[in-house]
Chain A
Amino acid sequence: MPTKLKWTARRMAPLLLALLCLPWPIYAEDDEGERFASVPLLPLYKQECSACHVAYPPGLLPAQSWRRLMSGLPRHFGTDASLDATSVKQISDWLGKHAAPSAYGAWATPTEDRITRSAWFGRQHNEIPARTWKLPAVKSAANCAACHTRADQGDFNERYVRIPR
């Protein structure tokens, strides 16, 4: 038995080492939101974008997604969010600069460039039952402020989460 165990350990060691070397996301599951949300918001971004929704922290999407969103504002998730060219440029540049790190590669680009379709979003919300998402006070997964009481200030700390019933 001990011989067999030793043999297994010897066989497994390189595999374990290889696993450790994989590019795991640096952020731990607990503080994904914290890490993403730490940039002070550009006033123009806040003014223009938070007219319709929470001013999502720029680190919630990779630069590629922000670029696509900013170049398609007249058809923005079913609504016309068109903006003058100067503002588009200023906001795009700022979003690009503070987007999620490109080191995480293509997997970080969520379906339809929706923050709510990101893998980390699913992980962070896997304990929320389906009925909660359907509450009238929540309405949409895009409505961060329904539960994250400080979402407007870019604070997604779990301490300030109040889930409506």
Chain B
Amino acid sequence: MNTGISTRLMAAVVLTAAGWSELATAATPAQLLAQYNAQAAAPSSAERGGILFTSRHASNWSCASCHGVQPTGLGQHAATGRPIQALAPAFNPERFTDAAKVEKWFRRNCKDVLGRECSASEKADVLSWLISLKP
């Protein structure tokens, strides 16, 4: 019985620690852009990022299908209708502040829109365009 409880307690501690380590990926949009730029071969282009964001690719969707052509206000999930908060960091300070979350969503959404994962240079392009959008 005691062993059971202590095992469970240990599991809880480990899980909590795992949760914290995932939280410990805090970053700023500028830091993330610098990281993607460092991985990419060429410097990023906000203009290219804007085009990538708003045009349709392999699927019927573009990034703008859910985030809006100007991702500075509320978007709407194309399938479920759920509201999506603004994506441009100047309009939503929570955006691009967690590296793991950013990677998770780039992975999922690039697969939905492009049918593949995005390259570091594509991520840098999109992020630099999003950062360039100002109130």
Partner-B contacts on A (CB < 8 A): 50, 52-54, 74, 77-84, 86, 90, 137-140, 142-143, 145-146
Identify which of B2-10, B30-38, B75-83, B127-135 touches chain A.
Answer: B75-83
Are A54 and B82 in touch, CB under 8 angstroms? yes
Chain A hits for B48, CB < 8 A: none
Identify which of B39-47, B49-57, B87-95, B106-114 touches chain A.
Answer: B106-114
Are B107 and A53 in touch, CB under 8 angstroms? no
The smallest C-beta distance from B76 to any residue of chain A, in angstroms, reads 8
Are A79 and B82 in touch, CB under 8 angstroms? no
Q: Which positions 57-103 of chain B face chain A at CB distance < 8 Å? A: 76-77, 79-82
Residues A139 and B108 in contact in the complex (CB < 8 Å), given A86-B18, A90-B15 = no
Within 8 Å by CB of B80, from A83, A86, A143, lies A143
Residues A53 and B77 in contact in the complex (CB < 8 Å), given A80-B107, A81-B108, A143-B82 = yes
Looking at chain B's contact residues, is the secondary structure mostly helix, strand, loop, or mixed?
Answer: helix
Closest to A143 in B: B81
* Smallest CB-CB A-B distances: 6 pairs: A139-B81, A143-B81, A80-B111, A80-B108, A53-B80, A79-B112
Complexed CA–CA distance, A52 and B76 (Å): 9
Chain A hits for B76, CB < 8 A: 139
Complexed CA–CA distance, A74 and B104 (Å): 12
The smallest C-beta distance from A87 to any residue of chain B, in angstroms, reads 9
Are B80 and A142 in touch, CB under 8 angstroms? yes
Are B79 and A140 in touch, CB under 8 angstroms? yes
Residues A80 and B82 in contact in the complex (CB < 8 Å), given A53-B77, A86-B18, A90-B15 = no
Chain A hits for B79, CB < 8 A: 52, 77-79, 140, 142
Chain A hits for B104, CB < 8 A: 83-84
Chain B hits for A50, CB < 8 A: 82
Complexed CA–CA distance, A62 and B18 (Å): 29
Are B112 and A146 in touch, CB under 8 angstroms? no
A80-B109, A140-B81, A146-B81 given. 19 additional CB < 8 A pairs? Answer: A50-B82, A52-B79, A53-B77, A53-B80, A53-B82, A54-B80, A77-B79, A78-B79, A79-B108, A79-B112, A80-B107, A82-B108, A84-B22, A90-B15, A139-B76, A139-B81, A140-B79, A142-B80, A143-B81
Closest to A87 in B: B22
Chain B hits for A90, CB < 8 A: 15
Complexed CA–CA distance, A143 and B78 (Å): 11
Q: A52, A81, A90: which has the most chain B beta carbons within 10 Å?
A: A52
Within 8 Å by CB of A145, from B15, B82, B107, B111, lies B82
